[in-house]
Amino acid sequence: MPLDGQGAVQGRAHAGPALAGFAITFCIGVVILLLAARFGAPAWSDGGYWAIGIAAAAAVALAAGAPRLMAASSSFGGMSLAAGVLTAAYFLAIPGVIFAAGHDGLAYALGLGAGGLLLQLVIAPRFARSGADSLPGLFAARFPGRAVALVSLAVITASMVLLLVAELTAAGFVGMRLLGVGFPMATIAAACAVLACFVLRGAWGSATANGLLYLLMLTALLVPLAVVSAQWYGLPIPQIAYANSLWQLQGIEENLLEQELADPAYMRPLLTAFLTLTPTSFIGIVVGLAVGVAALPSLLLAPLAAVPARSARHTALWGLGLLVLLLTLAPAAATYVRHAIATLIADKTPVAELPGWVFAYGKLGLVHICERAATDISAVVEACAALPEAATALRLQDIVIDPDVVALALPEIVGLDSIFMGLFAVAVIASALATAHAPLSVIVRALGLGSGAPAIEPTRGIRLGSYVIAAAIVAASATLALLRVAGIIDVATWAVVLAAAGLFPALAAALWWRRANAWGAAAGMLAGFGFVLVYGLGREFFAVPFYAATSALSSGGEAGLQYFDELKDAWLAAEPGAAKDAAWVALNAHAQTVADWWGVSGPATVLLALPLGFLVLVVVSLLTPAARGLETAP
């Protein structure tokens, strides 16, 4: 890849027409849809957004083939980096998690931002200078041998598959809304499109073209929020204008409490910290996301790989700045949605006059009113009448929206034209399909296909092999996505946390510590990754023996242990049969709440796994002979 002045100039010359073509195609599509909506074809136009999203992703995939686009400026590289950090998953889920969890949801945005900075300070410049084309490439050059290759393959695959699951879930939700089909259908359609875009781009295609998506994502989130800010407060800067909404919301929520239209137990005021997360979990999520983003294999590719350190530094700086621009919009989005819904309740809106979005998402099972899916007015009336404490008006806790669709529903909830929903949907689909390329590409590289030779045209066999691998990975991810075991934000967080626990110590050592050798790196990765698995699975499925063995480290303290012993005696004493089973359930449930070392649970496990990974890496490296003649680390 030439990086001299001429190459860079040509790169810009090629980026221009690609950008223009992308914009023109997009605008024509939107205009056609606008006309279709005007002349009364709403169902048809919703499907059209789906098509535009796929077309945009395909356009990006084709633009990646433009030979010199990859040598574009650092601002464009930064755009693709920001799109790669955010992905469709976080783009869709972060406003939702702030909406649902209030202040504690901010941990996710904070963690991603902190990760962008850590990437820029510690990883990007040295990684770029190492000359490696990807993380597997760096490991292969710095830690030769099969041990590191195998362990890193396992960790990279686990992390990247989870990221794909989160992205497919995001695309699946949007597909449900646009196509009116079930989640499985929409997810499978998205998976097929991901694969098509992968084939279109090729396994070694550049990720830099994803920068086009950043513009789409920014427009899709910024424009509706700016319009609402201007309409409500006369100030089209959402990041500042939403302060008004925060205060008004606080007033409305206090009123609702006074009128008993809201249950204090369900109320999560946006300004109050640590209602849903403990401080340990909050910090754990920030650390996990920050360290994980710095080590995320899907980011250590084209715009950061094999460029001068200075260029990588500036690309990462641009990436962080643009990422922060999007992340600071998320609290505004969450506040506006809460404000609109609280107003709906405060106005004592009768069920018959509920806005259309309630039923549009209720039909998909994503909005529940009075504990039942809000499919239509009569279903809602029936459900609310069936509640034990049947109230005259809807209460705040009666309306429950799936947090994963809050961002998508935002334009409709705050009362904007449905074209904004379409725009947002296009952004989510296009970014899901296009940013899914990097995880697939990394797995293909980690498997050793054509690694280390990006300049050489891969043979036909290798190319077909990469398609087969990608198809298998996409199929596995789609299968996992269909299980819907957790929300988008949780799956996406675990993907990054696995990268943090498994890959960061080895990556940092590869770049900064010459004495680190392959044995140390393999052992460190295995320790960090293995700890997360054993700790997480142990707490989840073997809570009783896990707690019995490690009760001294638990956050439950003396009282927790005493209660555990009582429950255990009850279980041992119970007659075999239903009584014994019930006693076990009680014992297991209690053990799950106290089986945590120093109160660490969930993604915060990284707080224990990271030091362990570093420690094992250092000790094993020092106990085994130093590698010779490998001067990748300066």
Partner 1 sequence: MREQPNSTSEDHARLPVVALLLWALVAFAIPALSQALNIVDIFALPLGYFMVAQGALIAFVVISWASARWQDRRDARRAGER
- Check binding of 106 to partner 1 (CB under 8 A): yes
> Looking at 152-160, 278-286, 402-410, 442-450, which segment touches partner 1 (CB under 8 A)?
278-286
Q: How far is the CB of 419 from partner 1 (least distance, A)?
A: 28
Q: Which is nearer to partner 1, 511 or 594 (CB)?
A: 511
- Check binding of 316 to partner 1 (CB under 8 A): yes
- Check binding of 324 to partner 1 (CB under 8 A): yes
Q: How far is the CB of 121 from partner 1 (least distance, A)?
A: 5
- Check binding of 206 to partner 1 (CB under 8 A): no
Q: Which is nearer to partner 1, 162 or 287 (CB)?
A: 287
- Check binding of 2 to partner 1 (CB under 8 A): yes
Q: Decide: helix, strand or coil at residue 554.
A: strand
Q: How far is the CB of 2 from partner 1 (least distance, A)?
A: 7
Q: How far is the CB of 451 from partner 1 (least distance, A)?
A: 17
Out of 69, 191, 317, 620, the only residue in the binding site for partner 1 (CB under 8 A) is 317
Out of 251, 279, 415, 545, the only residue in the binding site for partner 1 (CB under 8 A) is 279
- Check binding of 290 to partner 1 (CB under 8 A): yes
Out of 266, 512, 541, 598, the only residue in the binding site for partner 1 (CB under 8 A) is 512
Q: Decide: helix, strand or coil at residue 401.
A: strand
Q: Which is nearer to partner 1, 78 or 520 (CB)?
A: 78
Return the bridge partners of 513, or none.
none
Binding positions for partner 1, 328-387, rule CB under 8 A = 328, 331
Q: How far is the CB of 513 from partner 1 (least distance, A)?
A: 11
> Looking at 111-119, 162-170, 259-267, 394-402, which segment touches partner 1 (CB under 8 A)?
111-119
Binding positions for partner 1, 115-174, rule CB under 8 A = 116-118, 120-122, 125-126, 129-131
- The two three-digit tokens of residue 224, written as one number: 């509706």
Return the bridge partners of 399, or none.
369
- Check binding of 292 to partner 1 (CB under 8 A): no
Give backbone dihedrals phi and psi of 466, rounded to 5 degrees, phi first. Answer: -65, -35
Q: How far is the CB of 572 from partner 1 (least distance, A)?
A: 43
Longest dimension (CA), the chain: 83
Out of 17, 251, 308, 557, the only residue in the binding site for partner 1 (CB under 8 A) is 308
Site size with partner 1, rule: CB under 8 A: 58
Q: Decide: helix, strand or coil at residue 336.
A: helix
Angle at 94 between CA 90 and CA 97, to 5 degrees: 135
Closest to 305 (Cα-Cα) out of 446, 133, 141? 133
Could you identify the residue written with the tokens 């920050």?
290
First to last CA, the chain: 23
Q: How far is the CB of 420 from partner 1 (least distance, A)?
A: 23
Q: Which is nearer to partner 1, 1 or 179 (CB)?
A: 1
Using CA atoms, how far apart are residues 634 and 628, in angstroms rounded to an integer? Answer: 13
304 contacts 124 by C-beta, under 8 angstroms: yes
Out of 54, 57, 109, 532, the only residue in the binding site for partner 1 (CB under 8 A) is 109
- Check binding of 114 to partner 1 (CB under 8 A): yes
527 contacts 612 by C-beta, under 8 angstroms: yes
Using CA atoms, how far apart are residues 580 and 564, in angstroms rounded to an integer? Answer: 15
Out of 286, 358, 414, 499, the only residue in the binding site for partner 1 (CB under 8 A) is 286
Question: How many other C-beta atoms are found inside a 10 Å radius of the C-beta of residue 153?
Answer: 17
- Check binding of 309 to partner 1 (CB under 8 A): yes
- Check binding of 1 to partner 1 (CB under 8 A): yes
Closest to 360 (Cα-Cα) out of 411, 396, 395, 398? 411
Q: Exposure of 536 by Cβ count < 10 A (0-12 exposed, 13-18 middle, 19+ buried)? A: middle
Q: Where are the alpha helices (DSSP H) in 542-556?
A: 543-550
- Check binding of 611 to partner 1 (CB under 8 A): no
Using CA atoms, how far apart are residues 615 and 1, in angstroms rounded to an integer? Answer: 38
Using CA atoms, how far apart are residues 497 and 505, in angstroms rounded to an integer? Answer: 13
Site string for partner 1, 256-275 (x = CB under 8 A): --------------xxxxx-
Q: Which is nearer to partner 1, 321 or 557 (CB)?
A: 321
Out of 321, 350, 557, 611, the only residue in the binding site for partner 1 (CB under 8 A) is 321
> Looking at 43-51, 152-160, 201-209, 313-321, which segment touches partner 1 (CB under 8 A)?
313-321
Q: Which is nearer to partner 1, 313 or 590 (CB)?
A: 313
Closest to 18 (Cα-Cα) out of 208, 197, 194? 208
- Check binding of 505 to partner 1 (CB under 8 A): no
Q: Please provide the size of the chain in residues.
A: 634
Give backbone dihedrals phi and psi of 315, rounded to 5 degrees, phi first. Answer: -60, -45
> Looking at 323-331, 401-409, 467-475, 494-502, which segment touches partner 1 (CB under 8 A)?
323-331
Question: How many other C-beta atoms are found inside a 10 Å radius of the C-beta of residue 577?
Answer: 8
- The two three-digit tokens of residue 182, written as one number: 């079930």
Q: Decide: helix, strand or coil at residue 314.
A: helix
Binding positions for partner 1, 210-249, rule CB under 8 A = 239-240, 243-244, 246-247
Site string for partner 1, 52-91 (x = CB under 8 A): ----------------------------------------
Q: Which is nearer to partner 1, 192 or 325 (CB)?
A: 325
Out of 103, 177, 338, 539, the only residue in the binding site for partner 1 (CB under 8 A) is 103
Sheet containing strand 367-369, edge to edge, reads 372-373, 367-369, 399-401
Q: How far is the CB of 505 from partner 1 (least distance, A)?
A: 15
Cα-based torsion angle of the residue sequence 187, 192, 197, 198 in order, rounded to the nearest 10 degrees = 100
Q: Where are the alpha helices (DSSP H) in 387-487?
A: 406-413, 418-435, 437-446, 460-483
Closest to 102 (Cα-Cα) out of 246, 242, 223? 246
- Check binding of 3 to partner 1 (CB under 8 A): yes
| DSSP per-residue letters across 431-456 | HHHHHTHHHHHHHHHHTTTTTT-SSS
Contacts of residue 259, Cβ cutoff 8 Å, sequence gap at least 6: none
Q: Which residues bind partner 1 (CB under 8 A)?
A: 1-4, 103, 106-107, 109-110, 113-114, 116-118, 120-122, 125-126, 129-131, 239-240, 243-244, 246-247, 270-274, 279, 282-283, 286-287, 290, 306-310, 313-314, 316-317, 320-321, 324, 327-328, 331, 512, 631-632, 634
